[in-house]
Structures are given as C-alpha cells and as structure tokens.
Amino acid sequence: MNSVPGASKILVGLQGEDSFWLKLDGDVRVPWCVSLESYCEAVIKQIGIKSVYVDLVGATNLDSTTLGVLAKVAVYTQQYCHQQAVLFCANEDIERLIISMGFSAVFDIQEGFGDIRLNFKDLPILDCTEAEVKEVVIAAHKALMELTEDNRACFGGLVESLEQTRS
C-alpha cells in the first residue's frame, strides 16, 4: 500500500542537533501513517533529541489515523524528551479538531512561530502490507482513545472491529 494523495507531503528536519521538526502539508491521511510513526519513534528515541515541534500550519486536513499517530508522537516526546511537544496550527478548523480530540493535554499548542530556516527533507512513504497499516490504524486510534472519553466512545467500535479482523 503505497499510494499517497498528491496534495500532501510530510517533511522532517533537525534544528541544531537536539530539536526535531515535523511538518505536515496538505491533506494527510492513512497512507502516510506507517512511515510517519516509524520515523518519528526512531528519531525521538535517539539520545540527544530534547524537543519536538509539529508544524500543521500548511495542513488542510488530517484523518483520525494521522491524529492518532500525532498523539503517539506527543507521548513519545513526553516519555523520551521529558517535555511536551510543541504543535503549531494556524488553521481554525484544524485547531478546533485537535482541541476536540484532547491534544491540549499532550501538546503545547501555539498559533505560529518566527522565521525558522531548516533543511527539511521529504519523508518517504514506506511500502507496507495491509496488515502493517491495520496495526498502525489500531494503535493510532487507541492513542486517541486514551486522550478523552469522547474519543473512547467514538473510536471504540472501530478498534474492536479492526482487532477482530487481524490476519
């Protein structure tokens, strides 16, 4: 499964040697999630990474799986960097969405940032199996369910259904 909507991309970069930046642009959906989760987890667990920044300024839409992976990024940041990840969002619709999902509990949400010049690189999309995608979708929705009771009610049925159809 490696088709990616043409109107989306994910960029990654380091500021100095200790600040990891993740930039999501466009309509970011499920096909990105295996790449997004595996890359972010590997980088955040590296010794020396002290802060994580998530730039959603150019994002136009994020599906629930992407939101769940971002929740996991926030958890990894708290666990390995011992502080909250910073999330930048300028789109009112996306801001409403992330706040309704409980992101203010795990992210320091800010509207914008100064002139940051990083050498971002494109995150490649990993070729993965349907089973690998399903596992990331399940884990992402479980991460969302941990944030709020509303999320638990909203995604519980989906997670239960997907778990029953594991291969």
Q: Is the pLDDT of residue 1 over 50?
A: no
Q: Could you tell me the pTM of the whole model? A: 0.92
Q: Which pLDDT band, with edges at 50, 70 and 90, does 166 fall under?
A: confident
> Average pLDDT of 123-133?
91
Neighbouring CB atoms inside 10 A of 49's CB total 18
Model pLDDT for residues 145-164, shown as the tens digit of each residue = 999 999 999 999 999 999 99
